[in-house]
């Protein structure tokens, strides 16, 4: 009898607010995503140290080199396939570069294979899902080979970070909305249409209607970009027709990127909303040898505490691969202030908290003509939303944030001890938001999920002008003084804006031409 080893970090507990409703159908077919260790890990770590330090002499790896030198070892993949065969599971897909094997089988087969019990749960906001408690087990020959087993559990993992402007009009002197083109001009983006670039956008639900896109771009007087939908784990472009649901997110992301870089290709990766789906979508975008995105925009996330440590580690490893390949990843920092909507205490949102991501926070912006008159931290109160930001509980302090301190809204500062979020910011208040067209209706949308595609479009313009990817931009942005508009007023709950970096708006909102110079 082979010994079973608990997979480190795979421990699951019953999620607060969910109740057990019964066993899963043992014959139900499911797919599970297995992530394997990296070949030549020590050599890869040495390379990453140089990239993280912003060493100008390091060239990003090609996707071919990464696959050959730092993918999964053929022996390791063979072990997983033998294990699958022994348990009656079939291999749907193997991707040595992404170090992943996708397995298919019944609930009963997976329960026996990984020593888990899968049950049905009901949650007041997440609905019904398949869950598990305890650990995932692997046999002797996969111990140390397998880093994560994802998809046994399919509870919804992330939420979209967008806010539709409420129908009432609060008494604000500066009530305005902007098109993405107006914001690109206010933020002094360098000229260009992103020709030759591909921007990847990650979506965990909903879809877009091509008719909405074409009328929107036509109304702005810009050519329609090429938009491709990429299906991941059987999810696809499926618009619900409800602008308040995920369609609002999908359409917002595409319209912001497309308006600013109409010459770029936009690849939209649709995946199921689970930790397995989310990680696989980003992995597929990072390793996509057809579309080859140079920038990826992520507007979904959830508090760090709701992720298992195996999921955090597996996802962070995919984001680290993006940095090694010279792919810039922009992620929204959340719309619920310093608590990230997690109830008691402060939390940062993940994947924005990953040190390999450009975390995008929120501001509230007023402008007159072609210039910004006033920009503060986005905080429209408990109902209206506020930019996410704070200090990670999971990730250590990156080299490029050493020596920084975090300003507290009750006064005083303390040294930054772990990864600080966000890195940068941009207009996010729905009261000063983005004019978009969703489900045939023009509406104004805000949220940090508008800021991630805004920064992604800026990077795509810079990449097109340089003819090569800016890559992992964080060390360069922190090293270059004054390339962002420093936001010094406001708070997001526990943290306050201050001169220099802060845990509300990071280094500030973009001065696109200065950012281009720094990169």
**How many of the other CB atoms lie within 10 Å of CB of 265?**
20
**Of all residues in the chain, what percent are helix, strand and coil, respectively (each to 5)?**
30, 30, 40
Residue 267: strand pairing partners: 200, 228
Determine which one of 76, 153, 212, 249 is catalytic. 249
First to last CA, the chain: 57
- CA atoms lying within 13 Å on the CB side of residue 183: 31
Determine which one of 76, 247, 253, 340 is catalytic. 253
How distant, in Å, are the alpha carbons of 126, 154, 252, 264 from that of 240?
A: 17, 21, 15, 26
What's the rounded Cα separation, in Å, for the pair 404 and 500? Answer: 9
Q: Give me 161's structure tokens.
A: 């970070």
- With b meaning 16 or more CB within 10 Å and e meaning fewer, what string describes 58-87? bebbebeebbeebbbbeebbebbbebbeee
Helix extents (H) in 366-481: 381-384, 448-466, 474-479
Q: Is 164 helix (H, G, I), strand (E, B) or coil?
A: strand
User: Pick from 500, 495, 160, 506: which is nearest to 346 by CA?
Assistant: 495
Active site residue 15: no
Active site residue 249: yes
Residue 19: strand pairing partners: 122
Number of H helices, E strands in the chain: 13, 29
What's the rounded Cα separation, in Å, for the pair 498 and 505? Answer: 9
What's the rounded Cα separation, in Å, for the pair 418 and 396? Answer: 5
- With b meaning 16 or more CB within 10 Å and e meaning fewer, what string describes 276-308? bbbbbbbbbbbbbeebbbbbbbbbbbbbbebbb
Active site residue 449: yes
* Residue 503 preceded by cis peptide, ω within 30: no
Residues with catalytic function: 249, 253, 449
């Amino acid at each position: 009898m082979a010994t079973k080893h608990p997979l480190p970090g795979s421990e699951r507990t019953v999620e607060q607010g969910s109740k057990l409703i019964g066993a899963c159908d043992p014959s139900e077919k499911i797919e599970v995503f297995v992530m394997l260790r990296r070949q030549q890990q020590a050599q890869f770590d040495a390379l990453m140290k140089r990239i993280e330090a912003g060493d100008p002499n390091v060239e990003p790896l090609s996707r071919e080199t990464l696959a050959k030198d730092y993918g999964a070892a053929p022996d390791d993949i063979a072990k997983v396939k033998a294990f699958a065969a022994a348990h009656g599971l079939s291999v749907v897909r193997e991707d040595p570069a992404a170090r992943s094997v996708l397995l298919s089988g019944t609930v009963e087969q997976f329960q026996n294979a990984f020593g888990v019990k899968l049950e049905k749960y009901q949650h007041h906001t997440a609905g019904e899902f398949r869950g598990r408690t305890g650990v995932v087990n692997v046999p002797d020959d996969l111990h140390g080979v397998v880093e994560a087993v994802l998809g046994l559990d399919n509870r919804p993992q992330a939420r979209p970070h967008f806010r539709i402007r409420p129908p009432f009009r609060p008494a604000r002197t500066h009530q305005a909305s902007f098109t993405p083109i107006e914001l690109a001009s206010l933020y002094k983006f360098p000229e260009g249409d992103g020709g030759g670039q591909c921007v990847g956008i990650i979506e965990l639900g909903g879809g877009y209607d091509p008719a909405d896109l074409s009328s929107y771009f036509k109304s702005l007087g810009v050519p329609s970009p090429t938009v491709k939908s990429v299906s991941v784990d059987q999810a696809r472009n499926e618009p619900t027709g409800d602008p308040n649901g995920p369609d609002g997110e999908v359409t917002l992301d595409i319209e912001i990127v497309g308006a600013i870089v109409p010459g770029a290709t936009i690849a939209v990766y649709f995946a199921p909303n689970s930790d397995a789906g989310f990680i696989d979508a980003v992995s597929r975008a990072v390793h996509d040898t057809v579309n080859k995105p140079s920038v990826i925009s992520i507007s979904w996330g959830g508090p760090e505490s709701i992720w298992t440590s195996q999921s955090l580690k597996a996802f962070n490893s995919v984001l680290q691969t993006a940095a090694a390949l010279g792919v810039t990843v922009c992620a929204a920092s959340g719309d619920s202030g310093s608590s990230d909507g997690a109830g008691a205490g402060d939390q940062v949102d993940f994947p924005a908290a990953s040190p390999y991501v450009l975390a995008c926070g929120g501001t509230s912006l007023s402008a007159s003509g072609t210039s910004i008159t006033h920009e503060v931290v986005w905080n429209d109160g408990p109902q209206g939303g506020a930019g996410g930001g704070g200090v990670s509980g999971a990730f250590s302090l990156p080299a490029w944030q050493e020596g920084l301190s975090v300003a507290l809204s009750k006064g005083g500062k303390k040294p930054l001890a772990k990864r600080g979020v966000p890195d940068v910011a941009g207009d996010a208040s729905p009261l000063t938001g983005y004019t978009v067209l969703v489900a045939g209706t023009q509406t104004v949308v805000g949220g940090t999920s508008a800021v991630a595609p805004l920064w992604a479009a800026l990077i795509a313009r810079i990449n097109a002008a340089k003819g090569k990817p800016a890559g992992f931009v964080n060390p360069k942005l922190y090293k270059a003084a004054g390339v962002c508009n420093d936001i010094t007023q406001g708070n997001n709950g526990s943290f306050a804006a201050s001169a220099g970096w802060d845990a509300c708006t990071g280094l500030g909102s973009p001065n696109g031409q200065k950012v281009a110079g720094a990169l």
